Structure 1
Amino acid sequence: MLQEKIKVVISDLDGTLLNSDHKISQYTKTVFQELHNQNYLIIIATGRHHLDAMPIVAGLDVPVYLVTSNGARIHSPEKELIFSYNMESEAVKSVLSLDIDPEITTVLFRENVWQTNKHNEKLNEFQPEVNYHPELVDFENLEDLSAIKVFFTHDRHSKLIELRDQILENHTGLFSHAFSLPLCLEFMDKSVDKSVAIARILELENFVFQQALSFGDGYNDEKMLNSSGKGLVMGNAPDSLKNKLSHLEVILTNDNDGVAKYIAQELLNN
């Protein structure tokens, strides 16, 4: 039975735990509080910056490990930073020196601010309450380009595919990358991935991935979902991801409280 096997619950945020308004429903909060009451270890793993994710996760009102920037940061349930990894300045500079289509929005995640070459209202929609502020910059004028991650966004997925191929062709073996959404392409140091960060937490807590139930909707969740004892794909995930992970079960959408309803029915027997 699932209850006997699973000791850890892992969830992505956007498109998974959060609804389309980027909020956590009251029902989801109630289910996660019951998870905590039954002593499950809870891990939230997101591409968001920790300053952006922390107030969202605080709304669950339960202790959680927080993996942010796709694994470049880990914070303990006490909000203590226990792991961090940055991209080196020269590596970022090399990427930004490529001939990047000016229509593409480029963003650097820094420790206390995100820097961008242009304002993008769609990105701002992900922060109904701004906790992590944008700064408009000319990257050519910055000496230090070290960053937590670099990401690019454009309304056409095909443009981002071209950019991905261009970056990888010129930087073999330097980066890990993922499409957190079809219109968001993210690059991190090659050692960074949600699954790697989660493995660190599991080791600290004396658990293994086979004891974990995980939920996700993006390509940056792929390794996490495949590594878990049971990985669940959100109903709102892109069809391309569902097809790639066709061996995994697809559950209800984020707007239908898919994560919470699955946990309540299959893990908590509510």
Structure 2
Amino acid sequence: MIRENCKVIISDLDGTLLNQHHVISDYTRSVFQELHQQNYLIVVATGRHHLDAMPLVERLGVPLYLVTSNGARIHSPEKELLFSINMNSQTVKSILDLDIDPDITTVLFKEEVWQTNIHNEKLNSFSKEVTYHRELVNFGELEDFEAIKIFFTHENQEKLIAVRDLILEHHPGSFNHAFSLPICLEFMDKAVDKSHAIAKILEKENLDFSHAVSFGDGFNDELMLVTTGKGLIMGNAPETLKNKLSHLEVIATNHEDGVAKYLSETVLNY
């Protein structure tokens, strides 16, 4: 049934298409090249910035649509920018002016650099190639706060939950937010979600969500997973996501090339 109706493959990147070393394996590359040969439309949808994501997906060696910053940017298979939306400067400043725990790493995703208040080695390790550069700043001295999104990270999720609740208390209904990982909280413009960006791509290609199968491991994938014809949750996803979307199938982990193995067995019928 999946093979008959499936025309679009949609995948998250970290914890999904990337393995534990934050790279795309040779096996995953070979499966996606076969999918391209069989004319499947491929979409990668990630929370990463486009400058960070582009060299990672190039490893697949196939043309694809790239949705980045959770839907704030869409690039075509020819790397043309098709859609772009930012949070305005005053909006971002109103969040940073709140009493946020100084131990939390805060990041503003800008167009060319990411600005942060803390040198976070673990955060730096997510990028094998430095194409999106870091800038250490004092947010109290910034003048331009316009950003693609705001990103918070801390090993203690309770601290991030407190930040989330603080922002929502002061700005109810003003933003879209999600935990991309239990230790990563992201706030975006209200109009930004991976699923909204994917809808634009599908419309452009004269397709709809019923033609798509999607893969993800984070709460920023939630709407994408429940909207596509078939949504698959990674085995390494948080139990809270698996429980919330208990009607969806759980597949092998990203360490085990779960996406590629599923596609090989179910779509390509290898």
Aligned to 2:91: 91
For 1:59 and 1:5, the matched residues in 2 are separated by 27
Matches within 5 A, 1:1-270: 1-270=1-270
Percent identity between the two aligned chains: 71
For 1:129 and 1:121, the matched residues in 2 are separated by 14
In structure 1, runs of 5+ residues without a counterpart are none
The alpha carbon displacement at 1:174 in A equals 1.3
Runs of 4+ in 1 over 2 A off after TM superposition: none
The alpha carbon displacement at 1:145 in A equals 0.2
In structure 2, runs of 5+ residues without a counterpart are none
Indicate the RMSD between aligned Cα atoms, in angstroms: 0.5
For 1:246 and 1:98, the matched residues in 2 are separated by 36
For 1:136 and 1:243, the matched residues in 2 are separated by 38
What CA deviation, in whole Å up to 9, does each residue of 1:162-188 have, x standing for no partner? 110000110112110000000000000
For 1:85 and 1:56, the matched residues in 2 are separated by 23
For 2:152 and 2:111, the matched residues in 1 are separated by 18
Code of the residue aligned with 1:6 in structure 2: it is: C
For 1:169 and 1:122, the matched residues in 2 are separated by 30
For 1:212 and 1:117, the matched residues in 2 are separated by 39
Q: Could you state the TM-score of these two structures normalised by the residue count of structure 1?
A: 0.99
For 1:223 and 1:210, the matched residues in 2 are separated by 14
For 1:65 and 1:12, the matched residues in 2 are separated by 12
Q: Mean alpha-carbon deviation: is it higher for 187-196 or for 165-174? A: 165-174
Count of residues paired in the alignment = 270
The alpha carbon displacement at 1:264 in A equals 0.3
The alpha carbon displacement at 1:70 in A equals 0.2
Q: Could you state the TM-score of these two structures normalised by the residue count of structure 2?
A: 0.99
